[in-house]
Structure 1
């Protein structure tokens, strides 16, 4: 038996988008500097938010005034690329690791393997999307699919991911659309043709996470050490989470 690499698992966390992005960014920086093992975490966004890709500076004016269930929809900038993602009724994963060989797409696919295997066990077959011509002009990350996206055989995009590389370290995070509010998606992206995948009712977030943790430990050949963020770590992360413009 070889000694499996130990990854840190940070328990499911609900927080604002700025805070979640600061945590992901902090995990990447700490891992890059050799002070932190690879890590995996799952989280949700509260309040509901639209996350903008790092380089995405054009977006519809009305996004600044959206509300959902009486609360303002947050606009948050991600440290990763890609286009806008609406975070409502979704579950986000984040992987921070290093030492993956290959180009950007190969790294994506190595990381996405645990998602494909996990969702297959949950009864949903996923495969990679392909970049169509509409990609560049579509501000909506879920409106088009690229090789970084995981879609069902009917073309429903379940998971959209984005990546940031720093040296040998990679942060990849992605949104899994579990119970999207069709009206809110239409209000944000103006897409009347929004199709919704019926996630089986018995699939709780806890069950999804449990299955994905099992496939992650297989795919990355590692085992988890569960460690919530400490008080000191929260202080360091808070310093990073200054609101965006």
Structure 2
């Protein structure tokens, strides 16, 4: 029964991918196109991942004979190879489109998002940098690039990353990632005045009593205690 579900899931994902591939070539606006792109690509990747991990984590001994079992196992492996091939073919098609039109922002962003979802962070970062060079004022590109930068750099953020986050705040004063990273940066440098300003805004945006809320709240209380101590 499980094998049939897996096969059905695979077929559905391929159908959705084909529909999606035709869809993204239509003349929709960039924002709507990218949302649909992320959704469909995520479904394809999840389909591949769920089937792969099920196969890895289960004994998978179903069938009437050892030959049946071996045949089913081979079919599943072939299906997974086909899914990988679909994604690789899709990325190769995007690369060829970029070669033909190096300044095609939409295609560059699609390839960058694909690389990001598959975990190729350095490759994705290079593509987002390229996109930023084409469209420096595009805040969505800035946010996508800084998100990857923060993941890669962890707690050791470069000046370029901090500058990009400041640029985002100029356009989106309530951007959670920018407020958190920049607030922590000022906090670590003991620039408590700037840190308090950002953390107060951030605290008002976070869900009450969430882990992030309590972290920001505790840092605000600590800064208040330090301020009282020296005044």
TM-score, normalised with respect to structure 2: 0.24
Question: Which protein is richer in strand relative to its size?
Answer: 1
> Bigger radius of gyration, 1 or 2?
2
Structure (1/2) with the larger helix percentage: 2
Q: Which structure exhibits the higher relative contact order, with contacts defined as CA atoms closer than 8 Å and separated by 6 or more residues?
A: 1
